[in-house]
Amino acid sequence: LNKQTLATISAECEKFIGTQGGGMDQAIAYLAQEGCAQLIEWNPLRATPIQLPANGVFVIANSLSEANKAATSDFNQRVVECRLASRLLAKQMKLNWRELSRFADLQKALGYSLEQMETLVLGNLVLNVYSRSDLLKLLEVTEEDFCNNLLTPNTRHSQTFKLRQRALHVLQESLRVQQFIETARTNPDDCIARMKALMKQSHESLRTLYECSHENLDRIVDISDQLGVGTRLTGAGWGGCVVALCDGVEESKRFVETLKTEFYASIPKAQTCDIGSLCFTTSPQRGAEIYLIEKQNNILNSTA
């Protein structure tokens, strides 16, 4: 099995615990390359390395708030809202809407750019909140069909859905990814400021449109803003870690020390932890590899 196949299988396995994950964590765990970001694309899974600036230093900071995404409906609720948004747009555009639950598939069917997709959302998903009855009427489906075929088991109780906000986040985030890549490729020696700005915009969208942040994450981001560091939550959200981009080693050291005094010092749980394991600098490294140990003449030789 190659790495792409293993990543795809691993992503599918996550669904057995009840979460409708997209597979990004599994993909980067296998396909990461040293010194690079990876543009992850699906159907089929493929990864394109994006060289990062040599002077960029990343910091990982744990918010010390945890969320078990399999234990609540929050994670799947966002997935369902995105799927409903795509399907409703497809129906409005007189397409085979049941088969178009992903924005990428809808975009391809329409032949639209991301900018055109954003305009489509703004013009067609006009309600801030859609009720269950709104969607039954707009999609022309029965309650049973809606519940059994358009929701997940742990979202069948949901009565309201924020389609516009979720769709705007996904599409605008895709635009930011494109801008990040373009910045890295066209101005590799002087791109950190622009990358920081994109990361800040990303977190704000996750906080206000996708609504998956946490007050501890937002506190860390606020501190980073004061220091000119680009920071966003990473992972599923509702807790966990942020990833921050610093311009050089000195800026990263200043950021870490500031977090120790202005964030971790006020968190009781942090007092019993090794701060170095909660907040640290890092850099992109290679993903999972097979490590073979060969025994020859009673001597162990290893090859990666």
pLDDT tens column, 173-200: 999 999 999 999 988 777 999 999 999 9
Domains of the chain: 1-50 (no CATH), 52-67+190-283 (3.30.70.3170), 73-161 (1.20.1440.340)
* pLDDT reported for residue 49: 96
* pLDDT reported for residue 66: 86
* pLDDT reported for residue 3: 86
List the single range of 154-163, 249-258, 262-271, 286-295 with lowest mean pLDDT: 286-295
Average pLDDT of the segment spanning 237-260: 97
Contact 188, 214 (CB under 8 A): no
Residue 154 phi/psi, 5-degree rounding, is: -90, 10
Confidence of residue 304 (pLDDT cuts 50, 70, 90): very low
Helix (H) or strand (E) holding 241: strand 241-247
Query: DSSP E strands: which ranges in 63-109?
Result: none
Sheet of strand 241-247: strand arrangement: 230-234, 241-247, 56-62, 279-282
Ranked by mean pLDDT, which of 30-44, 133-147, 178-192, 272-286 comes out on top? 133-147
* pLDDT reported for residue 136: 99
* pLDDT reported for residue 138: 99
pLDDT, tens digit (0-9, with 9 covering 90-100), for 200-216:
999 999 999 999 999 99
Average pLDDT of the segment spanning 227-255: 97
* pLDDT reported for residue 125: 99
pLDDT, tens digit (0-9, with 9 covering 90-100), for 93-104:
999 999 999 999
First to last CA, the chain: 16
Contact 19, 237 (CB under 8 A): no
* Known active-site residue 25: yes
Nearest to 285 by CA among 72, 86, 33: 33
* pLDDT reported for residue 10: 85
* pLDDT reported for residue 44: 84
Residue 70, CB-side half-sphere exposure with 13 Å CA sphere: 6
| Active-site hit among 25, 105, 134, 225 | 25
Tokens of 208: 């206000």
Residue 142, CB-side half-sphere exposure with 13 Å CA sphere: 3
Instruction: Specify the higher pLDDT residue, 19 or 80.
Output: 80
* pLDDT reported for residue 17: 63
* pLDDT reported for residue 22: 64
Would you say residue 71 has pLDDT above 60?
Answer: no
Residue 212 phi/psi, 5-degree rounding, is: -125, 20
Average pLDDT of the residues of the chain: 92
* pLDDT reported for residue 297: 60
* pLDDT reported for residue 220: 98
Instruction: Specify the higher pLDDT residue, 107 or 30.
Output: 107
